[in-house]
A and B are shown apart, each in its own frame.
Chain A
Amino acid sequence: MSENNVLLRVQNLKKYFPIVGGLLGRQIGAVKAVDGISFDIKRGETLGMVGESGCGKSTAGRAILQLHQPTSGKVFFEDKDLTQMSGEDIRQLRPKMQMIFQDPYATLNPRHSVGKIIGEPLVIHGIMKKGSSELKDRVVELLELVGMDPVYMRRFPHEFSGGQRQRIGIARSLSLDPSFIVCDEPISALDVSIQAQVVNLMQDLQEQLDVAYLFIAHDLSMVKHISHRIVVMYLGKVMELTERNTLFENPLHPYTQSLNSAVPIPDPKSEQKRRRFILKGDPPSPANPPSGCVFHTRCPLTEEKCITVEPEFREIHPGHFVACHLADEKGSSMIPEQTILASVMS
């Protein structure tokens, strides 16, 4: 993928939610859900986004699609800045940017037939007429695309299992032939054997349709499986961004290292001999983030500088970005073996 192949560029995107309080309901603070994130997504690429709950990954996905009005920052989609566009202009662009949600139960209207759900975007955007045979053909085509029998178009959402509902949600998002889909935890609500079906389907569709995904999930092993590159978020900020294999073989941020080591591997032999580094404590609140590096309260390597100065998000190797004072070309922010052992003993 070449440089000029960038489909979406996010620059210093911020989304704060006001906290109101007191008798007059004045703003007394802000939850910094997304606090200055930057990255690119290329055409046909899957960018994975991982982080723990409350790190702002879902908000980031919505702010990119302008479903949340960003507080500041820019989002360029095909070189057009979405944050400067009017609502109507964004609506014109919507067909190109779609979303798949976590809960397939809540995202399908229970009173609409599957055919109506999948065809509705086409009608709303005036591409096809309601009740036309053309529309019906397209719905049949979409159902077949996601591996469902077209006879299901007359049925209603409650007649389907979770995995099938997620397929319906995917078919709907594909109806307008998008070039970019934000997938917000698309498989978290599904059983393991069904997760694999949906992930395989998403990969097949990407190959056929050349669509780019922003794949948001907390399951690091699944994100690694599906993504080309991965963004690691913590408390509204990007900690590290790089190719999937680099992220697992040469992670430069201590947070990435601890995430890697916390993910269980489904193999007892590797589990038994694995070096584990277990982070202490819980993530702090995004309403009151720590000074300096937001990770310093849980980082085993914290130095004076980390508490006072916020690290810059910089490119250490080509395509490998990290926000850590201690990372350099040699990758010296590696958590030393002794720390790992000590934390296991404690």
Chain B
Amino acid sequence: MSNILEVNNLVTKFYTLDGVVNAVNGVSFDLEEGETLAIVGESGSGKSVTMMSLLGLIPMPPGKIEAGAAFFSGDEGRRDLLQMSPDELRDVRGGQIGFVFQDPISTLNPILTIGEQISEILTRHKGMSKDAARRRAIELLTQVGIPDPELRYKAFPFQFSGGMRQRVVIAIAIACTPKIIIADEPTTALDVTVQAQIVDLFKRLREALGVAVIWITHDLGVVAGVAERVLVMYGGRPVEIALVNDLYEHPQHPYTLGLLGALPRMDARESERLVSIKGTPPDLLLPLRHCPFAWRCEHAFDRCWQEIPPLITVGEQHQTSCFYDLEEGGPRDV
């Protein structure tokens, strides 16, 4: 399998009146064709800003992409998304890269029928005729499980429930058979039974279309069910990347370990006391000079306060940015 997306050392900052917000401080990762990569982090971890930077959706100013490259292997060969002109990016967005955001009501245009919104994508990106676009849109609505698609084609977003609206957004995302779908907290606004429906839909579409998915979320429960690989972010930095089973069974970063301990298990009979991570997330206004997690880490030692830990390979497809070896119980030799 070849990489469809390679992100190298992305740095995004926001120049605000309060100072410089260091939102993304050097993020690198690869995405293979057809795989699902979850990006996990709490609010302010930089997970959404990373994706917005790739798609050219960062408002500039105040935002600025200061460094990095993002090579996307699309229809026109391997190209850097960050070097593309706004027009070129517009062709990629919605065409070869589809996306689904958290809140479907603010994603959809309230005064256009959902049919028009799906057809618009097809005529814009695929140059389809109005009639062909309509037929394809109805096909897509069927594919995402909307009953009576021909009737619903003419409905407006407010006539749909939250889950149904998210299905429409997904239909738009897959309309041009993209190579990547970026889903930013796609189930967070939904009820748990509806969340299960959408997760299930994603899994089926991924199999049917062979599309790669980047699933951004804070919910490690959902991740366990959908992802093949996981990237954990903290303070605008990647702290751990691993295959999903590896991450949950052998977390190598104290933050990942803490996050997993903070979640109650539905299948546990006795409720053990939750492990809480002391302190609060970092202040992004401070420039990063050391490990962003050092403030809250019980294992932090001198070196953690002196340099920013790079990603260290600790196993097959498993990297962590921590100088402390959790399994050996001492500093790593790196």
Q: Is the contact region of chain A dominated by helix, strand, or loop, or is it mixed?
A: helix
B193 touches A52 (CB 8 A): yes
When distances are taken between beta carbons in the complex, the residues of chain B under 8 Å from A248 are: 266-267
B4 within 8 A of A: no
> Which residues in window 219-254 of B have CB below 8 A to A?
219-225, 227, 244-245, 248
B196 touches A193 (CB 8 A): no
B280 touches A265 (CB 8 A): no
> Which residues in window 161-190 of B have CB below 8 A to A?
161-164
> Which residues in window 196-223 of A have CB below 8 A to B?
196-197, 199-200, 203, 218, 220-222
Knowing A221-B221, A224-B266, say if A268 contacts B245 (CB, 8 Å): yes
A66 within 8 A of B: no
Knowing A259-B193, A265-B221, A266-B221, say if A282 contacts B271 (CB, 8 Å): no
> How near does chain A come to B221, taking the closest CB pair, in angstroms?
3
A276 touches B264 (CB 8 A): no
By size class, the interface of chain B is 35 or more
A10 within 8 A of B: no
- Mark A223-241 against chain B: 1 for CB-CB distance below 8 A, else 0: 0111000000000000000
A38 within 8 A of B: no
B191 touches A218 (CB 8 A): yes
B193 touches A264 (CB 8 A): no
**Pick from B163, B265, B277: contact of A282, CB under 8 Å:** B163
B245 touches A269 (CB 8 A): yes
A95 within 8 A of B: no
* A-B pairs with beta carbons under 8 A, tally: 131
When distances are taken between beta carbons in the complex, the residues of chain B under 8 Å from A268 are: 224-225, 227, 244-245, 248
B244 touches A266 (CB 8 A): no
**Pick from B219, B245, B258: contact of A264, CB under 8 Å:** B219
> Which residues in window 70-119 of A have CB below 8 A to B?
none
- Interchain CA distance A110-B200 in the complex, whole Å: 43
Residue in A closest to B163 when the chains form the complex, CB atoms: A282
When distances are taken between beta carbons in the complex, the residues of chain B under 8 Å from A195 are: 262
- Interchain CA distance A199-B261 in the complex, whole Å: 13
> Which residues in window 131-165 of B have CB below 8 A to A?
161-164
> How near does chain B come to A155, taking the closest CB pair, in angstroms?
15
When distances are taken between beta carbons in the complex, the residues of chain B under 8 Å from A197 are: 276-278
When distances are taken between beta carbons in the complex, the residues of chain A under 8 Å from B261 are: 196
Knowing A192-B262, A218-B192, say if A282 contacts B161 (CB, 8 Å): yes
> How near does chain A come to B53, taking the closest CB pair, in angstroms?
22
A278 touches B196 (CB 8 A): yes
Knowing A267-B224, A282-B163, say if A199 contacts B274 (CB, 8 Å): yes
> How near does chain B come to A46, taking the closest CB pair, in angstroms?
11
> How near does chain B come to A253, taking the closest CB pair, in angstroms?
13
> How near does chain A come to B160, taking the closest CB pair, in angstroms?
9
B220 touches A266 (CB 8 A): yes
B113 within 8 A of A: no
Knowing A195-B262, A196-B262, A266-B263, say if A245 contacts B224 (CB, 8 Å): no
- Interchain CA distance A220-B219 in the complex, whole Å: 13
When distances are taken between beta carbons in the complex, the residues of chain A under 8 Å from B266 are: 220-221, 224, 248, 260, 263, 265
Most buried by B among A200, A263, A268, A282: A268
Additional A-B contact list (16), CB under 8 Å, known A199-B274, A221-B266, A259-B193: A192-B218, A196-B262, A196-B275, A197-B278, A264-B219, A264-B225, A265-B221, A266-B224, A266-B248, A267-B265, A268-B227, A270-B224, A271-B224, A276-B196, A282-B164, A282-B191
B residues sitting closer than 8 Å to A (CB atoms) are 42-43, 161-164, 191-197, 199-200, 218-225, 227, 244-245, 248, 258-267, 269, 271, 273-278, 280-281
Return 21 A-B CB contacts under 8 Å, by A number: A52-B191, A52-B192, A191-B43, A192-B259, A193-B262, A193-B276, A193-B281, A196-B274, A196-B277, A218-B192, A225-B264, A225-B271, A262-B192, A264-B225, A266-B220, A268-B227, A271-B224, A276-B200, A278-B200, A279-B193, A282-B162
